């Protein structure tokens, strides 16, 4: 039994008891201070989380408002309401500034260091900064751009005004490109789905905006010399006919020579490919194109664009024209009847010598159907040449709405219907990443698949074709490549009787109403073609290479009212992007297309 005397343990002095009591009190004080400290820290953490959550709610509201105002600003610009656009821009700047402020305080910055939510908070802040910099640095310059300076007046483009506009476009493009680069560097693999989707959508819009501002900036710089600011220039204007398909759009049947000087443009000559004639021996054709298309592009002006590479086709046609007694032109511009229909919506109906007038709604039918019914072969060539001349003469002499006209040009370039090649390498280099060049990129930002069509019937039945394509992004591979699956459909709406001999042509498919089409599928850069099936049956694919792309060739015959389906498996280069892109031969009726994306390979 323990020894206790007068409440004190035996052998323990009063001093020892006092020391032990003080020690217990110190321990209890330390515990109280630790608990109090934990409570304070916990409260601060909760307060910080609450503050960041509150600021995040504010930022989201401001960004949603800013997105709506950006769409409204676009509509104001398109409608030409400058005063309303300025008011909308002011409201957009107010919302973007508040979103940036909400994500820029010390509490938010501290939250970006958190192990779980830090990446999400950082991404939201960078989205807010991007929107604010566009609202303050790019959009005001774009609003100050005088669109009227980009279209001709009284037969002439004012090159001095165009030069002034170039400065505003350069300033806007610089901001857009910088914002685009920063957003591209934001890691997205670990983001929550809502923020990842918002970031992806903004990146897509930035790619589109960067393409537009980049093209506008380069165009404003290039147009003055192209239009004769430094001396006269001359160009071949080629009319492509998609009734008889070629890879860049259609057989080149007619041409005109255009002279440009000090912003004024006039046509000085017209002719047809038939008059240029055949070349034996053929002109030299690049080795890979020759392996795919033999010597035909170097023999016949109508076959220079069997290759989808427009710079090659343009250079061949230019040399053919020169060798047949023409001048040495500075470049080549190609259009088709659909481009003319888009331009006619801006300039109004045009009277054409030797045939019916052209309107925006009816130009394609008039040129690709009615003309073959009502005119003989020689009259057709003359009418096609006169049509292009009449539309471009009207373009440079009538007063047109610049927004409608620029929209027509933008749509034509996007669809690959308006193509340009400059014989001056420094100018061509400035256009290299534009669809205006009609060339597939040497390197893919996203895996790009080409589908190009050439008529194999010796007929003009392309007017009746309805093509479609679905490109599906598939599995990721350990070697950094990605699988793609292409489904290409070709439907014929041709009648089974009643067409003229000039439309039915040679009838190389046997039945003159059966459309034979030579299909070439281009893999992504650095990629390859795996396999092919036609209507579910295994198909042996011929082909070769064109630059960094493997090319598969297949012949598809389709009867009136029928549909054929070509399935092709492909591999990308070392590019694990979750999306893909298509480049197509423009046809009389626009394609029906779809790209099916997939989750990122990093997920």
- pLDDT confidence of residue 7: 46
pLDDT of res. 80: 62
Phi and psi at residue 309, to the nearest 5°: -85, 100
* Cα dihedral value 523, 525, 530, 532, nearest 10: 0
- Measured distance CA(334)–CA(318) in Å, rounded: 12
Domain assignment present for residue 433? The answer is no
Q: Looking at the domain assignment, is residue 203 inside a domain?
A: yes
367 and 506 inside one domain? no
Q: How many angstroms separate the CA atoms of 534 and 538, rounded?
A: 7
Query: Are 184 and 324 found together in one domain?
Result: no
Number of structural domains in the chain: 3
Phi/psi class of residue 12: alpha, beta or left (left: φ > 0; alpha: ψ in -120 to 50)? Answer: beta
- Please determine, for residue 206, whether its predicted confidence score (pLDDT) is greater than 80: no
d(CA 360, CA 358): 7
The distance of Cα 447 from the centroid of its chain, to the nearest Å, equals 13
Q: Where are the alpha helices (DSSP H) in 440-560?
A: 501-504
Span 548-562, pLDDT tens digits: 999 999 999 999 999
- 436 part of a folded domain: no
**8 Å CB contact between 584 and 466:** no
Same domain, 570 and 585: yes
Q: Are residues 280 and 404 in the same domain?
A: yes
| Composition of the chain by helix, strand, coil, percent to 5 | 50, 20, 30
More confident residue, 50 or 505: 505
Q: How far is CA 304 from CA 70, 252, 294, 424, 502, in A?
A: 45, 8, 11, 20, 22
What dihedral do alpha carbons 182, 187, 193, 195 form, nearest 10°? -30
Are 257 and 272 contacting, i.e. CB atoms less than 8 angstroms apart?
no
Sheet holding 549-558, edge to edge: 542-546, 549-558, 515-522, 448-455, 581-584
Residues 289 and 398 in one domain: yes
Same domain, residue pair 119 and 246: no
pLDDT in tens, 515-524: 999 999 999 9
Q: Are the beta carbons of 267 and 415 closer than 8 angstroms? A: no
* DSSP, res 350: B
312-324 pLDDT per residue, tens: 999 999 999 999 9
Beta carbons of 515 and 527 less than 8 angstroms apart: no
* Position with higher pLDDT, 570 vs 167: 570
Q: Are residues 209 and 280 in the same domain?
A: no
pLDDT at position 61 is 72
Best-predicted range by mean pLDDT (49-53, 199-203, 524-528): 524-528
Structure confidence by residue, pLDDT tens digits, 246-277: 999 999 988 999 999 998 988 899 888 998 99
Q: Does the structure show a pLDDT above 80 at 446?
A: yes
Q: Are residues 324 and 237 in the same domain?
A: yes
Backbone phi and psi for residue 141, each to the nearest 5 degrees, phi listed first: -65, -40
- 358-336-353 Cα angle (round to 5): 35
- What would the mean pLDDT of 96-119 be, rounded to a whole number? 75
User: What's the CATH code of the domain at 254?
Assistant: 3.40.630
Q: How many Cβ atoms sit within 10 Å of the Cβ of residue 212?
A: 15
Mean of per-residue pLDDT scores for the chain: 85
Burial call 512-539: b when 16+ CB within 10 Å, e when fewer: bbbbbbbbbbbbbbbbbbbebebeeeeb
Is residue 489 located within the same domain as residue 383? Answer: no
Residue pLDDT, tens place only, 329-365: 999 999 999 999 999 998 999 999 878 889 999 999 9
Distance (Å, whole) CA 477 – CA 580: 16
CB contact set of 36 (below 8 Å; sequence gap of 6+): none
397 pLDDT above the threshold of 60: yes
Q: Is residue 466 part of a domain?
A: yes
CATH value at residue 563: 2.60.40
Q: Give the span between the Cα atoms of 415 and 583, in whole angstroms.
A: 9
Q: What is the DSSP letter of 232?
A: -
Q: Edge to edge, what strands does the sheet with 419-422 contain? A: 264-272, 251-261, 233-241, 331-335, 419-422
C-beta neighbour count of 4 within 10 angstroms: 10
Q: Does position 63 have pLDDT exceeding 70, yes or no?
A: no
Query: pLDDT tens across 277-287, in order?
Result: 999 999 999 99
Last residue of a domain, one of 384, 406, 428: 428
d(CA 130, CA 125): 9
CA angle 286-299-385, nearest 5°? Answer: 110
Distance separating the N- and C-terminal Cα atoms of the chain? 70
Rounded Cα distance, 60 and 313, in Å: 51
Measured CA to CA, the distance from residue 386 to residue 317 in angstroms comes to 20
Tell me which residue of 555, 556, 535 sits closest to 543, measured CA to CA: 555
CB 227 within 8 A of CB 234: no
**Residue 21 within any structural domain of the chain:** no
Query: What pTM did the predictor assign?
Result: 0.81
Answer yes or no: is 268 within a domain: yes
- According to the model, what pLDDT value does residue 77 have? 65
Say whether both 274 and 331 belong to one domain: yes
Alpha-carbon separation of residue 284 from 279, 390, 522 (angstroms): 11, 34, 23
pLDDT-based confidence at residue 582 (cuts at 50, 70, 90): very high
- pLDDT value at position 51? 38
Q: In the listed set 375, 396, 428, which residue is the last one of a domain according to the structure?
A: 428
- Give the residue ranges of DSSP H helices in 431-558: 501-504
193 touches 199 (CB < 8 A):
no
Residue 387: pLDDT band (50, 70, 90) is: confident
Residue that has been written with the tokens 């021996």 in this structure: 281
Rounded Cα distance, 373 and 463, in Å: 13
114 pLDDT higher than 90? no
555 domain residue, yes or no: yes
* Listed range (51-60, 219-228, 237-246, 579-588) with the worst mean pLDDT: 51-60
Of 191, 207, 226, the last residue of a domain is 226
For residue 17, tell me if it sits in a domain. no
Range of the domain at 417: 233-428
**Is 178 in the same domain as 253?**
no
In a shared domain, residues 451 and 414: no
The model's pLDDT over 2-31, given as tens digits with 9 standing for 90+, comes to 454 444 455 555 555 565 666 666 665 555
pLDDT (0 to 100) of residue 488: 98
């Amino acid at each position: 039994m323990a020894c206790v005397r007068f409440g004190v343990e035996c052998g323990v002095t009063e001093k020892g008891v006092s020391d032990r009591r003080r020690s217990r009190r110190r321990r209890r004080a330390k515990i109280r201070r630790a608990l109090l400290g934990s409570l304070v820290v916990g409260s601060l953490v909760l307060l910080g989380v609450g503050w960041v959550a509150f600021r995040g709610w504010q930022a989201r509201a401001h960004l949603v408002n800013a997105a709506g105002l950006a769409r409204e600003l676009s509509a104001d610009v398109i409608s030409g309401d400058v005063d309303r656009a300025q008011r909308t821009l002011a409201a957009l700047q107010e919302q973007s500034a508040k979103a940036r402020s909400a994500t820029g305080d010390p509490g938010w910055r501290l939250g970006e260091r958190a192990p779980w939510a830090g990446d999400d908070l950082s991404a939201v802040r960078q989205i807010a900064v991007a929107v604010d910099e566009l609202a303050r640095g790019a959009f005001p310059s774009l609003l100050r751009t005088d669109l009227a300076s980009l279209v001709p007046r009284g037969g002439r483009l004012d090159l001095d005004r165009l030069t002034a506009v170039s400065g505003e476009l350069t300033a806007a493009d610089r901001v857009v490109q910088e914002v685009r680069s920063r957003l591209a560097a934001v890691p997205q693999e670990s983001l929550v789905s809502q923020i990842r989707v918002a970031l992806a959508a903004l990146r897509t819009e930035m790619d589109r905006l960067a393409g537009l501002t980049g093209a506008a900036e380069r165009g404003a710089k290039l147009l003055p010399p192209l239009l004769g600011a430094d001396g006269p220039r001359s160009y071949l204007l080629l009319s492509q006919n998609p009734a008889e398909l070629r890879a860049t759009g259609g057989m080149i049947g007619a041409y005109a020579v255009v002279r440009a000087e000090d912003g004024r443009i006039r046509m000085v000559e017209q002719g047809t490919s038939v008059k240029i004639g055949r070349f034996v021996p053929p002109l030299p054709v690049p080795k890979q194109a020759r392996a795919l298309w033999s010597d035909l592009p170097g023999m016949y002006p109508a076959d220079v664009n069997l290759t989808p590479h427009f710079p090659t086709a343009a250079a061949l046609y230019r040399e053919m024209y020169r060798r047949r007694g023409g001048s040495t032109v500075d470049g080549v511009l190609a259009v088709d009847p659909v481009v003319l229909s888009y331009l006619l919506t801006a300039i109004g109906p045009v009277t054409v010598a030797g045939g019916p007038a052209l309107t925006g709604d009816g130009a394609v039918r008039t040129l690709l159907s009615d003309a073959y019914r009502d005119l003989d072969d020689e009259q057709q060539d003359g009418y096609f040449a006169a049509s292009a001349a009449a539309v471009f003469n009207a373009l440079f002499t009538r007063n047109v709405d610049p927004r409608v006209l620029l929209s027509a040009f933008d749509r034509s370039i996007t669809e690959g219907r308006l193509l340009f090649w400059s014989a001056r390498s420094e100018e061509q280099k400035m256009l290299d990443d534009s669809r205006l060049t009609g060339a597939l990129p040497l390197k893919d930002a996203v895996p790009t698949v080409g589908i190009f069509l050439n008529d194999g019937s010796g007929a003009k039945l392309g007017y009746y074709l309805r093509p479609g394509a679905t490109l599906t992004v598939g599995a990721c591979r350990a070697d950094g490549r990605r699988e793609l699956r292409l489904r290409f459909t070709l439907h014929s709406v041709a009648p089974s009787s009643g067409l003229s001999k000039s439309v039915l042509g040679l009838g190389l498919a046997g039945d003159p109403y059966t459309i034979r089409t030579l299909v070439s599928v281009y893999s992504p850069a650095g990629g390859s073609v795996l396999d092919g099936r036609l209507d579910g049956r295994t198909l042996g694919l011929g082909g070769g290479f064109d630059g960094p792309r493997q090319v598969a060739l297949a012949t598809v015959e389709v009867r009136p009212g029928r549909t054929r389906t070509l399935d092709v498996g492909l591999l990308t280069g070392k590019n694990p992007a979750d999306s893909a892109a298509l480049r197509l031969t423009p046809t009389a009726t626009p394609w029906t297309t779809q790209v099916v994306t997939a989750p990122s390979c990093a997920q």
